[in-house]
Structure 1
Amino acid sequence: MKKKFVTWTLVLYVIYGLLLGLYFFQWSDIGVPPAYEGTAADPATFMTDKELELTQEYSRYQNFLSFLGEPLEWIIYLGVMIFGASVVFRNFGERVSRFRIIQIPLFVLLLQTLTTILLFPIDYASRWLSVEYGISNQNFSSWMRDELIGFWIGYIIMALLITVLYFLMKKFQKRWWLIAWVLMIPFMFFMMYLQPVVIDPLYNDFSELQNKQLEEKILTLAEEAEIPAERVYEVNMSEKTNSMNAYVNGIGSNLRIVLWDTTLNRLQENEVLFIMAHEIGHYVMNHLYWNLAGAIIAAFLGLFLTYHLLRYATRRWGERLGFTKVSEITSLPMFFFILTLLSFLSSPVELAVSRNAEKEADEYAIEMTQDPKAAIGSFQELTVNGLSDVHPPALVKYLRYGHPTMMERIHMLESYQDINVKEE
C-alpha cells in the first residue's frame, strides 16, 4: 500500500505539474481582448513595457506555484495515515497523558507541525517571488515572526475546536456534526468581534489616522452610510509590502475602518475616498453578515457531508489506516482530508458570490463619490503596485479570484464615466 501510494502520487503529481506548466506558460492567452485595447482597462495605457513584462511574469509564476501547492495538503493527510504517523502521534499522546483533553491537543500540534514543515517550501517560494518582484520588502526574520504568530494562533483555535469536536463524536455518535455546527455559530460571531482588536494587532501596529482632514472626510462618508465609527485607523504596512489595501471589519463596538499606510502614500485623496467608499459599501449592503451567513450554511453542509464520508471511510479503510471508530483521534487526518477537499470543490461557488459582492461595492462607491476618474486611477495604481494580472486565465479567475478582474472593474467604471458624459 505504501509503495503504491508513493508511486502513484509521484506519477500523478508530475503529470499535474507538467499540465499546469503548459497551461500557464504555453496555452494561456496573456493578451488583452480586442474590445479592451486602448481603453483605461488596457494595461498598456497605464503601465510601462517593463511593468507589463514583470506583471505577466510574476502572475504566471505565482499562479503556477499556487496551483502546484493545492493538492499537497491532501497528499500529506493521506501519507500521515498510510505511513502510520497518525498512530505514532496517538501513541505518543497516550504516553504523555491518559486524559483525552491532553492527548487531542497534542495530536493536533504534531499533525499541524508536520503539515507546516512539509508545506514550508511552497510558502517560502511564494514569499521569495514577492520579494524578487518588489511586492514584499519584508525581511526574513519579520516574515518568520508572522508565520510563527499565525501558526500558534491557528493551533490554539484548532486545538480548541478539535478537542470539543472529538468529545462530541464520542458522546453523540449520530448527531455530533449537528451539535458542532450549532456551537460554531456563536464562535464565528465571537471571532468576528475579536479579530480587529486582539488578533490583527499581533501582526501590525495600528494607530489613529494622522491626516485629520482625510479622516474627517472618511468619517463623513461613514456617517452618510450610518456606520457607527468615531475614528479611522492607519496600519504600518510599508515595512512589509508595497501593495495597498483598506478594509472595514469587526462587529459592534469593535468595528474598525482601516487604511494601509501604503494606500495613503501612493493614492491621491479622492482615490483614497473611492477605495473607502467601496469598503463602506460592503458594510451598507451587509456583506459582512452575508459572508457570515454563507459561512454558517457552508459549515452545515460541510459537516453533514463530512459526517457521512468519514463514516464510510472508517468502515472501508479505517482499520488499515489506524482507526476503527470515527471518534478515535487517529481519524483526524481523514477528517481534514475530507473537509479540505470539500472546501476546494465548493470554492468556485463561494468565489462567484464574493465577486458579485465586490462588483456591488464598486457600484456603490462610484455612485457615492461620483468621481470615475479617481476610481479608475485608484484601480490602475493598485494594478501597478501589486503587479496584478488584469486579465488572468479562466482557471485562475474561477478558482482563485474573490474579486472581479481588474479589467472588468476598470471597464465598468469607464462605462459609468462614458454614460455620465453623454448625459451631460
Structure 2
Amino acid sequence: MRKLFWGIFIIYLLYAVSISTYLFTVNTPLPEHYVGTEADPLTFMDEEQYQLSSQFSKWRNVIYFINLPFEWLIYLFVLLFGLSQFFARWSERVIRYRFLQTTLYVILLSTFSWIVTFPINYFSYTLSKKYGISIQAFQSWMKDQLITFWVEAVILTIVAYVIMHIISKWPKKWWLYTWLLSIPFTLFLMFIQPVVIDPLYHEFYQIKDKELEQEILLLAKEADIPADRVYEVNMADKTNALNAYVTGIGSNLRIVLWDTTLERLNKEEVLFVMAHEMGHYDLNHLPLLLIGMIAASFVGLYVTSKFYSLIINNFGKRLKIKPDNIAALPIILLILSLLSFVVSPVSNAISRVYEYQSDRYAIDLTNDPDAAVATFHKLSVEGLSDVNPPTIVKIFRYTHPPMVERITHIREYSKTIE
C-alpha cells in the first residue's frame, strides 16, 4: 500500500511540473475585436500594473492547481501509512465517549493536515503581500488561520460523528439519511454565518457615509430589500482589494460592502455594486444555489456511498478499517473532494450566468453603464485580476465572468435598452 502511495506521489510531481510549466508559459492573446476597446486591459492599466497582474495571476493559478490534488495526497497518506488508524486507536484509548473520541480524532487529523499545508498557505500569504494585495500583519493572518482551523474542526466533528453513527445503523442507506440531515444542517450554517462565524474574522457595522446610505436605501427600497441587511465590513487593515457580497438566509440575509470598496469607488460606482448585489437577492440566486447544492449533494452522497463501499470491500482488511470506524473518514473526504472538483466547471458556469444576470439587473436599476465599466476597471486594477485568463483557469476557477467578457456584456446590454 505504501508503494501505491509513492507511485501516486510520483505522478503528482509530474503533474505539478507539467501544470506549472503550462500556466507560467501560456499566453492568452486578447481577441482582436477587444484590442483598443475599454475591455482591453492596456486601456485602464499601465504597463507595470499589467505585468504585475499577469505574474500574480499565474502564481495564484499554479497554487490552486497544485494545492487541490495535494489535499488528496494527504488523505491517501494518512490512510496508506496507517496514520488515520493510529489517530483513531489512540483516541479510543484515552477517551471513553464516542463523540469525544471523534472530536480528538478530528483535531489530530486536522492538525496534521494544517501543518503539512502550512508552507503552501504561508507562501500564498507572502505572495499577496509581495504584490500589494494583502497588507495583513502576520499575527492577524495567523489569527484568521487558527479561527478557520477551529471552525472547520467543530463542523467536521459534528459531520463525522453523525455520518459514522448512521453508517453503523444503516450501512446501505447511510447516504440517504445523511443527505436528509444535511439539509437542515446546511440551512442552519447559512443562517448563523453572518452573525456568528463572519464576525470572528471581521468587524461589521452600518455604513458610515449617511448620504450614501440614503442613496443605497432608495435602491434597496426599489429592490424590496430590508434596510438593516446592508452592512459595511472593516477590511482596510487586511487588503487593498475591493469586494461586496450577499450572505445568509432568512432574517439574517444581508448585503456586505468592504470598506475598501467604499473608500476607492465614487458614489455612482458604489451604487452600481450595491445594485448588482441586490440583483442576487431580488433574482433569488441564493435560494436557487441552495436548491442546486441540495440536489447535487443527493447525487454526490449516493456516488460517494458506492465508491466508499467499493474501497472498504476491496481494501478495508488491508487498511485495517471497518465501514463505521472513524479512521475511514479520510476515504469519504477524499471522494467528496474529488467529486467537488469534477462538478466545479458546472457550478462555476452557473455562477457566471448569475453574475451576468445581476449585472443586467444593476444596469436596469441604475441606468449607468459608465459607472459599471469604471467599477470593473478599478476592481481589476486593485485586485491585479487576469481579465482574460486561459480557458482551463476560467473553467475551474472563475465563479465570475472574466472582466473582458463582463465589460463587453455590459456595453452590449446597455445598447439594447437605450
- Alignment TM-score, normalising by the size of structure 1: 0.96
Measure how far apart 1:307 and its partner are: 0.8
Aligned-partner residue type, residue 164 of structure 2: Y
Aligned-partner residue type, residue 16 of structure 1: Y
Measure how far apart 1:29 and its partner are: 2.0
User: In the superposition, relative to structure 1, how do residues 260 and 166 fare at CA in structure 2: closer, same or farther (>3 Å)?
Assistant: same
Match of 1:166 among 164, 167, 170: 164
Residue number in structure 1 paired with 2:190 = 192
Percent same amino acid at aligned positions? 49
Residue number in structure 1 paired with 2:348 = 351
Cα distance between partner residues in 2 of 1:102 and 1:419: 61
Cα distance between partner residues in 1 of 2:203 and 2:405: 34
Residues 170, 327 of structure 1: 8 Å contact kept = yes
Cα distance between partner residues in 1 of 2:145 and 2:17: 30
Aligned-partner residue type, residue 352 of structure 1: A
Residue number in structure 2 paired with 1:83 = 81
Residue number in structure 1 paired with 2:3 = 3
Match of 2:410 among 409, 413, 419: 413
Select between 224-233 and 311-320 the one with higher mean Cα deviation: 224-233
Cα distance between partner residues in 1 of 2:255 and 2:11: 46
Q: How does 1:230-241 map to 2 (within 5 A)?
A: 230=228, 232-241=230-239
Map Cα deviations across residues 108-145 of structure 1 (whole Å, 9 max, x no partner): 11111111111111111111110000000001110000
Map Cα deviations across residues 296-349 of structure 1 (whole Å, 9 max, x no partner): 1111111111111101100111111121x3111111111111111111111111
Aligned-partner residue type, residue 3 of structure 2: K
Cα distance between partner residues in 2 of 1:286 and 1:11: 46
Asked if residue 14 in structure 1 is aligned to residue 9 in structure 2, the reply is: no
Match of 2:332 among 309, 332, 335: 335
Residue number in structure 2 paired with 1:99 = 97
Asked if residue 121 in structure 1 is aligned to residue 119 in structure 2, the reply is: yes
Measure how far apart 1:284 and its partner are: 0.7
- Alignment TM-score, normalising by the size of structure 2: 0.97
Stretches of 4+ moved more than 6 A in 1?
none
Residue number in structure 1 paired with 2:315 = 317
Q: Secondary structure at the match of 2:257?
A: strand
Measure how far apart 1:266 and its partner are: 0.5
Q: Secondary structure at the match of 2:228?
A: coil
Residues 380, 387 of structure 2: 8 Å contact kept = yes
Aligned-partner residue type, residue 278 of structure 2: I
Residues 349, 399 of structure 2: 8 Å contact kept = yes
Cα distance between partner residues in 1 of 2:10 and 2:155: 36
Match of 1:133 among 131, 134, 142: 131
Measure how far apart 1:173 and its partner are: 1.4
Residues 208, 231 of structure 1: 8 Å contact kept = no
Measure how far apart 1:231 and its partner are: 5.8
Match of 1:148 among 124, 146, 149: 146
Aligned-partner residue type, residue 18 of structure 1: V
Residue number in structure 2 paired with 1:398 = 395
Aligned-partner residue type, residue 196 of structure 2: V
Residue number in structure 2 paired with 1:251 = 249
Residue number in structure 2 paired with 1:281 = 279
Residue number in structure 1 paired with 2:67 = 69
Cα distance between partner residues in 2 of 1:61 and 1:257: 31
- Pairwise CA RMSD of aligned residues? 1.3
Map Cα deviations across residues 79-136 of structure 1 (whole Å, 9 max, x no partner): 1111010111111011112322221121111111111111111111111110000000
Map Cα deviations across residues 324-377 of structure 1 (whole Å, 9 max, x no partner): x31111111111111111111111111111111111111111111110100000
Cα distance between partner residues in 1 of 2:5 and 2:161: 30
Match of 1:34 among 32, 35, 41: 32
Measure how far apart 1:2 and its partner are: 1.4
Aligned-partner residue type, residue 73 of structure 1: E
Residues 30, 391 of structure 1: 8 Å contact kept = yes
Q: How does 1:356-367 map to 2 (within 5 A)?
A: 356-367=353-364
Select between 364-373 and 15-24 the one with higher mean Cα deviation: 15-24
Q: Which runs of 5 or more residues in structure 1 are unaligned?
A: none
Cα distance between partner residues in 2 of 1:159 and 1:231: 31
Cα distance between partner residues in 2 of 1:35 and 1:29: 17
Asked if residue 229 in structure 1 is aligned to residue 227 in structure 2, the reply is: yes
Cα distance between partner residues in 1 of 2:413 and 2:297: 38
Measure how far apart 1:4 and its partner are: 4.2
Residues 237, 260 of structure 1: 8 Å contact kept = yes
Residues 344, 396 of structure 2: 8 Å contact kept = yes
